[in-house]
Amino acid sequence: MRKAIMIIAAMLTLCGGRAMAQRCLPGMSAVEVRADMVNGFYTGDSRNCGYDFGVFYSVFKGNANTWSFGGEFLQTYRPYGENGRIPVAQFTGEVGYNLHIVSDYSQTFHLYGGVSALGGYETVNWGKHTLSDGSTIRNGDAFIYGGALTLSAEFYLSDRLALGAHVKERFVFGNDTGHFLTQFGVHIKLTIE
C-alpha cells in the first residue's frame, strides 16, 4: 500500500503541472548591458541628439527589488551655426534602487520603477575651446552630479537571460550644457547568481 501511494504521488508530481522558474530570488545577481538614444532618435546626422552605453551589476533583494551599480558613457551634440554641432560627453557612475512594480505568474515579464544617484565628468568638444571657425567655447569641462528616474520592462527568454526596454530621465548639475536628458533604449540582462 505504501509503495502504491509513493508511485501515485510521483505520477501526480510529474503530470500535475510544470515547475515555475527560479528567477529574481534574493541573493541572485545579474549583469546588464544597455544601449540608448538620448533626446530623440540619433541617426548620425542629428544635430542635438545622442547615444549612451552602460554596464550595470544588479543584486536582487526581497520581492524582486534590486540594487544596481554601474557606469555609463553618454554622447550628445549641441547645434552650432547652420550645419555644425559640438559634442558633449559624460562619463558617469551610478547607484540605484529598482522597485518591482508588477510581474506575470510565470515570472517571464517584470516591470520596474527606479531611482538612482549619479556622479561623473562632462567634457565639451573633448576639451578643445577653439572651434574651426575661430570661435571660443565658454562652456568648459566639469564634474557633474545628479540623479535619474527609470521605468524598465524585462522579458525573460530563459532562466538566466532577459531582454528589456527602458525609459530614463537624467538630471545633472554642475555643468553649463543642460540639466535634463531623456534616454530610451534596450538592454540585455544575464543572471550570474
Secondary structure, 3-state, the chain: CHHHHHHHHHHHHHHCCCCCCCCCCCCCEEEEEEEEEECCCCCCCCCCCEEEEEEEEEEECHHHCEEEEEEEEEEEEEEECCCEEEEEEEEEEEEEEEEEEEECCCCCEEEEEEEEEEEEEEEEHHHCCECCCCCECCCCCEEEEEEEEEEEEEEECCCCEEEEEEEEEEEEECCCCCCEEEEEEEEEEEECC
Cell of 137: 567655447
Q: Residue 89: pLDDT above 70? A: yes
| Percentage, residues of the chain above pLDDT 70 | 89
Q: Which one has a higher pLDDT value, 189 or 133?
A: 189
Kindly indicate the confidence band of residue 22, based on its pLDDT and cuts at 50, 70 and 90.
Answer: confident
Mean per-residue pLDDT, 141-156: 94
Q: Residue 5: pLDDT above 80? A: no
Q: Which domains does the chain have, with CATH numbers?
A: 22-191 (2.40.160.20)
pLDDT digits 0-9 by tens, 28-49: 899 999 999 998 877 766 777 8
pLDDT digits 0-9 by tens, 53-74: 999 999 999 888 999 999 999 9
Mean per-residue pLDDT, 126-152: 83
Q: Residue 156: pLDDT above 60? A: yes
Give me the pLDDT at residue 190, please. 94
Report the Cα–Cα distance between both ends of the chain, in Å, rounded: 42
Kindly indicate the confidence band of residue 11, based on its pLDDT and cuts at 50, 70 and 90.
Answer: low
